[in-house]
Structure 1
Amino acid sequence: MANVTFIGLGRMGLGMAQRLLAAGHRLRVYNRTASRATSLVERGATLCPSPKEAAQGAELIFSMVSDDAASREVWLGAAGVFGGTPSAGTLLIECSTLSHDWVLDLAGEARRRSLSYIDCPVTGLPDMAAAGELTLLAGAAPEDLARAQPILDVLSKQTIHFGAVGAGTVYKLMINLQGAIQIASIAEGMALAERAGLNLHAVAETLATGQAASPQVVRTARRIVADDHDQNVLFTPQLRLKDVDYALRLARKLKIGTPFGTVAHAAYAKLCALGHGHSNESKIIEVARVQED
């Protein structure tokens, strides 16, 4: 069994850490809100007061945090992992959805310390994290990924290797940008059906079997019908806006046009400005319900 550190126990991270602990690994954890670790500590994990202390003696260090700023603090902050002395060859596995530029910068910092870095964002929902059914999107040197794979298998149903460090993040930003466009567009369609007086239950169920169906479209349409955007929050507008912003930055760097992504970004920005940044992202129906002058 390995000495594993897990940093970030949010909706996804907690389930992932539970999987590692259940597999018998020796687990040290850190989270800004320490109470999130209670169930892990009760089952044998060690809660640490900082990322630096959590990383002591680790063979693998996972991070699952919200954005570039949180990731930078975890690794480079005053009490960050790099403030300690991880052993040469320690595997750093960043599962957060981050900007491509920061992933490359962070990988460079790791190399300068003779550490091995894998960018490994995930797809899946919190219940899939708890069940070990995530899909991992890896950018890594093949030998580093091979070393990490036995541990990654505890977390996932598959690991897809897209190429060198940064490639996993490129795919994750691409797919999250596509998701934002799909969700914004189905909200617009549902608002149209609602205003025209259609039975929204029938609309949502018909969508589920039609050619426009995707898991995100179906899930969002059903959440709009249920009107339960402030319960069982799976993914927030604030996080989606962050991901779209990172994707558009990458597109600009690569000189790719993003007319649809730009419109979706504006819709999520408006939703957050209306005070709904922490609801479920299906709340974007509220933006579609209001016609601009």
Structure 2
Amino acid sequence: MGLPEIIGVAAGAVTLSARSWPGGGARPVLLVHGLSSNARLWDEVAGRLAADEHPVVAVDLRGHGASADVPDPDGGPGPTLQAALDLAGVCAGLGEPVVAGQSWGGNVVLQLAADRPDLVHGLALVDGGWLHLADRWPTAEAAWEVLAPPDFDGLKLGDLRERLVGMHQDWSSAAIDATLANLHPDDPVRPRLTRGRHRAIVTSMVEHRPRDLYPRVTCRTLLLAALPGAGGRALVDEAAAALPSAELVEFPGADHDLHAQHPDRVAALIGGLA
């Protein structure tokens, strides 16, 4: 797998950092990470897609990865809707790509496909896109009480690496390193995504209504679900039934980060949408 080029991609009024693989003449692919994650988690998937001639761009959304310093707009539509607007600008420069999003990124790319069907050739929802936080928590405050990230309390990077290796023994070292890239490499470590931005995203997810978007998605859609996984069986089945052209692919007992655990299978499925 060749190393990606680090580029800036136009996203409306701002420029986001992205990782780019040139590929060849096949349809381009845009890859979108989840909440408090980063574009590097897609490296192994992207390398396999590029080997099949797909130009690939994996983007760091505002506040994440190398786009940590990209500002949020004052009085904007909220992080989930703003991320979808940003991705519309990225897609316009790629030429109707296949778009994949994981977890919260799945909700973001679902919004993109519903709002701008002219920009998305195919959609892959990777253990996300059907996340309805309001079904579980009546307010953003209630959701934050459960979903707020833990404090690292002086944790060293090496200690965290050991924990991750123990938790994900079937992940590659590249996937472990990519996960660690969610943090500034300080001792003790600290997240690249600030706590305030994290809370704002959770609030926007409580306000987000994916089921209202399903009928508006016109492209072929794959739902890659780590069952029981994020949201449980009922929400996955609801999305698969409501999306006009959808196929559910199950990964029973898999990790939420399917792209890190099963990059070969995930890459093959995304490539099949082209």
Query: What TM-score do you get using the length of structure 2 for normalisation?
Result: 0.30
Rg larger for: 1
Indicate the structure whose relative CO is greater, using CA pairs within 8 Å and at least 6 residues apart: 2
Structure with the largest fraction of helix: 1
